[in-house]
Amino acid sequence: MPEGETLDQAEIDALLDAVESNAQPDLGSSARIFSRFRREQEKVEIRPYDFKRPERIGKDQMRALQTLHEGFARSFGAQLSGFLRTIVEVKISNAEQMTYSEFIGSLPNPTAFTLVDIPPLEGQFCIELSPLIIYPIIDRLLGGNNRDLFIPERPLTLIEARLVNRIIQLGMDALTEAWHGIRAIDFGISSMESNPHLVQIVPPNEVVVVIGHEIKLGNRVGTMSLCMPYNAIESVMEDLNAENWFSSGKPGQAEVAEEAIVERISDSMLQIEATLAETTITLRDLSKLDVGDLLTTDRLANRPVMVSVEGQPKFEASLGQHRGQRAIRIENAVGDSLEEESE
């Protein structure tokens, strides 16, 4: 009892009666168990707390990590689609905190469990790819169609492991790109195991962040889990607290992206057609055409020909020859000629 606080006679009598009747005394409002100064009408919110699973990362930081890896999922899906020459969808299914032992206990055995180096950060990440999607990807790479594919319960063979290593390497490139806005991290493959229970990158009770992904390849669906120990990403947590880290780009980043897009588009192949003239004939006349017959049109020979790009009229040109070959010389754009006619 705090010094200076005494019981009045009524409270003493209540205590004596409680001892005699072996009952709990009612010393006032139940709210006083929290504080002697708490108001009776104030509602006290009580939340359960599991000391085995402390949440060391705030909600805002978890939301930032999820947003960051949404970009990774889009990039990884695009790279997989190009590598496998088919549509592959990758999206985030969940993001949560747990202990390392809980994460390992939730994984199948055998599986594709990869350790990832994260210089200049200390420690390692790990990535687990479910056999439900690994074997369809391998089957696709080897020319299969995944129709009657059987998912074996065995470790990957040496050839299969090398194919999976190429898939994981695409993920490393996508991770490096996604984390570039936070910290320049050179993600790289360290080793690959089939039994995750034999790998311990942190103590069992260490808190880890697990980002779950869903990968869809045709009618096959599997999961991919990215595990990040808290002690490995603790040094970048302050960077994730920035309110607009994901919306503010670096100076000149838009120009670099624009130049890259223009460079890729510049290598695209386009079909160009030059239309000399157009006319119409009946089907009867068409059936009677023979070698040497002439087709007449209303277009003058000195009029420019229309040049179309992918079926769209773009330029007017004149016919001629260049170094013994037929050629056309661009005179003006279609829009320019229309403006001159209107004037």
> Are 127 and 174 in a shared domain?
yes
Question: Distance between CA atoms of 170 and 192, rounded to whole angstroms?
Answer: 15
> Are 240 and 281 in a shared domain?
no
> Are 31 and 63 in a shared domain?
no
Largest CA distance in the chain: 131
Tens digit of each residue's pLDDT, the chain (343 residues): 555 567 777 787 777 777 666 655 454 544 444 454 555 555 656 666 555 555 667 788 888 889 899 999 999 999 999 898 889 999 999 999 999 999 999 999 899 999 999 999 888 999 999 999 999 999 988 888 777 788 888 899 999 999 999 999 999 999 999 898 888 889 999 999 999 998 888 998 999 999 999 999 988 999 999 999 998 888 888 777 654 454 444 555 567 777 777 777 777 788 888 887 788 888 888 888 888 888 888 777 778 888 888 888 888 888 888 888 888 888 888 865 544 554 5
Query: Is the CB of residue 223 less than 8 Å from the CB of residue 93?
Result: yes
> Are 172 and 296 in a shared domain?
no
User: From the centroid of its chain, how far is CA 20?
Assistant: 69
Domain count, the chain: 3
> Are 124 and 238 in a shared domain?
yes
Indicate the SS3 state at residue 152: coil
Q: In what order do the strands lie in the sheet with 188-193?
A: 88-99, 207-217, 220-229, 124-129, 112-117, 188-193
Query: Is the CB of residue 182 less than 8 Å from the CB of residue 68?
Result: yes
Q: Where are the beta strands (DSSP E) in the chain?
A: 88-99, 112-117, 124-129, 188-193, 207-217, 220-229, 272-275, 305-309, 312-322, 325-333
Q: Which residue type occupies 317?
A: A
Indicate the SS3 state at residue 8: coil
- The one-character DSSP state at 196 is G
Domain that holds residue 295: 272-342
Q: What is the CA radius of gyration of the chain?
A: 36
Q: Which residue type occupies 142?
A: L
Please indicate, yes or no, if residue 262 is contained in any of the structural domains: no
